[in-house]
Amino acid sequence: MKVWMVVGTVLALCSSVSYAEPTVWLVHPDSALNSIQAALDSCASNDIVLVCPGTYYENIVWPNTQGIHLISECGPEVTIIDGSDTGTVVRLSGVTIDTSTIIRGFTIQNGRGHCYPGLNWEGGGIDCKTNASPIIVNNIIRDNIADSMGGGILSKGASPVIRDNIIMNNTAFWGGGVAQWFPSCRPIIVSNTINGNNASYYGGGIYANYYTSPVID
């Protein structure tokens, strides 16, 4: 009898458990929620930020929240994040995220990655630091500048998946298009068009420091 009572209690508890569906945060230039940064800051784990067409002048700092999907509604040709040449367009630094996090379907342009003392470099378009390893897919990353490394994308001690992007007309000292640095850096760079980028020193298209272990296809 006691056994059945325990089982019944467990079943009752299990039936009361509910699993929250992800919240979809819709960003539109003409709505109250017209900022990608504000939507990201509102997210819980595994939420979706769906961005309508428009040009968003932002320098995004990614929150320390796992599994956010930042997705454009209509693709990179009509959904633009512009860094206004004042800082990195999308900065993922000091956050712990893996490939359950996605950035998809944007033009990411006019970013400026600054160079600070102590090897503190910023990528121009997207800056992925230690433990920040999202999937970056189906974007146009163009016309960004890094004072040091990674005009388009910098992966410093991180292992993002960089897939099916157009990376063009970016400039840096090392790695005009994409740059990688530090032994723990193991990015996967596949099926991208990397074209017309410029580096003052090494790696117009891609620069891989000899400590890194990228997969490039």
CA distance 125 to 177: 9
State pLDDT tens for residues 70-116.
999 999 999 999 999 999 999 999 899 999 999 999 999 999 999 88
Residue 42 amino acid letter: S
How deeply is 100 buried, as exposed, middle or buried, from its count of CB atoms within 10 A (0-12, 13-18, 19+)?
A: middle
> Residue 134: which of 173, 168, 106, 171 has the closest Cα?
106
User: Is the distance from CB of 152 to CB of 139 less than 8 angstroms?
Assistant: no
Q: What tokens appear for 77 in the block?
A: 């040709």
Q: What is the DSSP code string of 55-77?
A: EEE--EE--S-TT-EEEESS-TT
User: What is the percent of the chain where pLDDT is above 70?
Assistant: 90
State pLDDT tens for residues 33-69.
999 999 999 999 999 999 999 999 999 999 999 999 9
Beta-sheet pairing, 112-113 with 107-109:
unpaired
User: CA angle at residue 216 from 77 to 202, to 5 degrees?
Assistant: 85
User: CA angle at residue 140 from 36 to 128, to 5 degrees?
Assistant: 65
Q: What torsion do the CA atoms of 97, 199, 80, 140 make, to the nearest 10 degrees? A: -80
pLDDT at 13: 34
Q: Which residue is listed with tokens 């230690």?
A: 130
pLDDT at 12: 37
Over the chain, what is the mean pLDDT? 90
CA distance 25 to 155: 28
**Which pTM does this prediction carry?**
0.89
CA distance 92 to 56: 18
State pLDDT tens for residues 179-193.
998 777 899 999 999
